Amino acid sequence: MEWNAVGLTILIALLLLWNLDFVATLLNLKALSPELPEEFSDVFDAERYAKSQQYTRESARFGIIESVVSLFVLLGFWLGGGFGWLDALTRSWTSNELLAGLYFLSLLYLGHYLISLPLSLYSTFVIEEKFGFNKTTPGTFVSDQVKSLLLSALLGLPLAAGLIWIFGNVPHAWLWAWVLFTVVQLLLMWLAPAVILPLFNKFEPMKEGPLRESIEKMAAKCEFPLAEISVMDGSKRSTKANAYFTGFGKTKKIALYDTLVEEQSDDELVAVLAHEIGHFKCKHIIQRLGVAIAQSAALFFLLGLVIDQNGAFARMLFNAFGVETISPQVGLVLFAILFSPASRILGIFSNAWSRRHEFEADAYAANAMGTSEHLITALKKLSAKNLSNLTPHPIRVLLDYSHPPMLERLSALRARSNP
């Protein structure tokens, strides 16, 4: 390992990024207001509001611990020569470059998984349990872990093998690697509702009744191609509530958490779904997908430069991490580390775009319902149920919030009701 301009730049960027997140967390905790915003007085009492703030504090402290562990493990492995050692170890097992690459990526993934596992256990069975959210049993947790590992192997290994082979054998490799990645991404989006998600949750068709009729009526009014309405057993793992839709083209499927159905009135549930329909009608989904595909093209182009065996930058990057042989498998990992600070900055713009989309979907739902009130009450109930932070600091919002703070959403909705 040698200290060069590339290695020093990455190190400084990682440390600055960590400090930025740390400062944002401290500011977010300082922004917690002891006074309940008047808007939420009908869904929060003093005890629940205090509980929501305590949940924010404990989650933030745990987030700091997670980030410290992640940073120190990365720096320890890097500065201790771990990348070069692991590459040499896996190459000693086989002369086949493809197999060596899969061994390298698999061991790195397993190492990350084992380090993250105790943190996941603590988050689920200590923090979430303490605040009444956790419904996951040890058996369900183990089952989820096994299924996730198997899915990672079944889906991740073929994709990794394809990328390694392409970068090692095909001209204009970045272009073909991007095509492969995009095809797999779209395939997974298509398979997820029917194949992957049912591995973890049960989806029951919504029973006939006033709620189903109201949802179907709203879908017809919005010309939304609704093919299926399901209720998901979200209460199997958590008391938190949510709803989402999936599907391509003319086959859209809506799934509601059973916890959401239990807590909301029919009008409120229809308003929440009208918001999700709003994302479809405003073409947010296709816009985000298009940007994601274009962004992945740019990333694969840059990745091609990073693993160019004749490139000066690639040689400096691999030297900085103590890796002798320039290879696709190591390049994938080093590129992820190299790009992480830039990804964090780009995330600011992505989150701002997403927050704008949320306002637009809220406005669509209010228009479709003919009133803002049902969505307002639904969002307030969700905030109380999920112990949301009602007064996040603007820096935290800027860095991490894909949805606007709840007070801003409600204020925008009320402005529509009271022009």
Q: Are 274 and 365 in contact (CB under 8 A)?
A: yes
Q: Are 307 and 78 in contact (CB under 8 A)?
A: no
Least trusted range by pLDDT, from 35-49, 174-188, 241-255: 241-255
Strand duo 203-205 + 226-232: pairing: antiparallel
Query: What is the reported pLDDT for 249?
Result: 59
Least trusted range by pLDDT, from 34-43, 172-181, 195-204: 195-204
Is pLDDT larger for residue 252 or for residue 334? 334
Query: What is the reported pLDDT for 233?
Result: 84
Q: What is the spatial distance between Cα 301 and Cα 311, in angstroms, rounded to a whole number?
A: 14
| Portions of the chain given CATH number 3.30.2010.10 | 203-258+269-275
b/e per residue, 251-267, with b = 16+ CB within 10 A? ebbbbbbbbbbebbebb
Choose the most confident range, by mean pLDDT, from 263-277, 306-320, 348-362. Answer: 348-362
Instruction: Report which residue type is found at 343.
Output: S
Query: What is the reported pLDDT for 55?
Result: 95
CA dihedral defined by 251, 257, 263, 269, rounded to 10 degrees?
A: -10
Tokens found for residue 318: 């691999």
Which phi and psi (to 5°) does residue 229 adopt? -120, 120
Mean pLDDT computed over every residue of the chain: 90
Tokens found for residue 249: 């083209």
Proportion of the chain above pLDDT 90, given as a percent: 67
Q: What is the spatial distance between Cα 365 and Cα 276, in angstroms, rounded to a whole number?
A: 8
Residues ≥6 apart with Cβ < 8 Å to 1: 7, 78, 79, 81, 84, 319, 320, 321, 322
Tokens 């790009």 correspond to 339
Our answer to whether residue 276 is catalytic in this structure is yes
Q: What is the spatial distance between Cα 128 and Cα 402, in angstroms, rounded to a whole number?
A: 22
Q: Which of 21, 268, 358, 362 is catalytic?
A: 362
Distance between terminal CA atoms of the chain?
A: 64
What pTM value is reported for the model?
A: 0.89
Note the CATH number of domain 203-258+269-275: 3.30.2010.10
Tokens found for residue 350: 């992505």
Q: What is the spatial distance between Cα 314 and Cα 153, in angstroms, rounded to a whole number?
A: 28
Q: Which of 237, 245, 194, 193 is nearest to 219 (CA)?
A: 245
Phi-psi region of 308 (alpha: psi -120 to 50; beta: other; left: phi over 0): beta
Q: Which of 216, 276, 308, 360 is catalytic?
A: 276
Q: What is the spatial distance between Cα 278 and Cα 360, in angstroms, rounded to a whole number?
A: 7
Bridge-partner residues for 204, per DSSP?
Answer: 231
CA dihedral defined by 51, 57, 60, 62, rounded to 10 degrees?
A: -90
Q: What is the spatial distance between Cα 367 and Cα 278, in angstroms, rounded to a whole number?
A: 10
Tokens found for residue 139: 């058996």
- The mean pLDDT of 143-158, rounded to a whole number, is 94
SS3 track for 181-238: HHHHHHHHHHHHHHHHHHHCCCEEECCCCHHHHHHHHHHHHCCCCEEEEEEECHHHCE
Query: What is the reported pLDDT for 419?
Result: 45
Our answer to whether residue 47 is catalytic in this structure is no
Is pLDDT larger for residue 253 or for residue 81? 81
